[in-house]
Amino acid sequence: MDNTARIALVPPPDRRQSETALAIARGTARLLRSLGFTCISELPLPSGRRADLVALNERGEIWIVEIKSSVEDLRADQKWHEYRAHCDRLFFAFTQDLPCEIFPQDTGLIIADAYGAHLQCEAPEHKLAAATRKQMTVRFAMAAALRINRLVDPQGHAEFWE
């Protein structure tokens, strides 16, 4: 099967995300849209990892947002630094209940709830190489198109769910 089969069309609820994490994702996506980005949740990366939110704007900038719902969630995460290789800017999004000081200083910070978010601290820019940017942009576009197609024609995409 070709590479597109590995991208979830509409991510099935996997019950890994807490209600808090889902609320943070929703509010963060609203913020990103207000900044001119569109986003995809749970996007598999070329490295095999899966990013919580990947955002793309019309200039081709790619941001990744890692969602953290608790201090324990951050402490247990040993993979977040690998996302930097796939984006121009890397952010953490979390609720106002968590202190900003616990997050790495070389990332951006977004404070969010289910209704919106605030860009607390801008992330430093790490420009992607052209080949990586193209790979991520194509991956983003394929996932978005496949998810729309799945919504329009659920029965026509059964082979992707097997």
Going by C-beta distance under 8 Å and a sequence separation of 6 or more, which residues neighbour residue 152?
none
What is the residue type of 14?
A: D
Average pLDDT over residues 17-30: 92
What total of structural domains would you count in the chain? 1
Q: Residue 2 domain-assigned? A: no
Distance CA 143, CA 54 (A): 11
**Which residue segment(s) compose the domain that 119 sits in?**
19-152
Q: Residue 159 domain-assigned? A: no
Which two tokens mark 49? 């990892």
Q: Residue 123 domain-assigned? A: yes
Q: Residue 162 domain-assigned? A: no
Is residue 11 predicted with pLDDT exceeding 70? no
Distance CA 125, CA 63 (A): 10
Average pLDDT over residues 57-78: 94
Q: Residue 55 domain-assigned? A: yes
pLDDT score of 158 = 59
Q: Residue 7 domain-assigned? A: no
Distance CA 51, CA 67 (A): 9
Is residue 139 predicted with pLDDT exceeding 80? yes
pTM score, two decimals?
0.85
Residue range 91-109, pLDDT digits in tens: 999 999 999 999 998 999 9
CB atoms within 10 A of CB 84: 17
Output the domain CATH number for residue 103. 3.40.1350
pLDDT score of 141 = 96
Going by C-beta distance under 8 Å and a sequence separation of 6 or more, which residues neighbour residue 129?
none
Q: Residue 1 domain-assigned? A: no
Q: Residue 128 domain-assigned? A: yes
Distance CA 130, CA 66 (A): 23
**Concatenated DSSP letters of 91-123:** EEEE-TTS-GGGS-TTSEEEEEETTEEEEEEPP
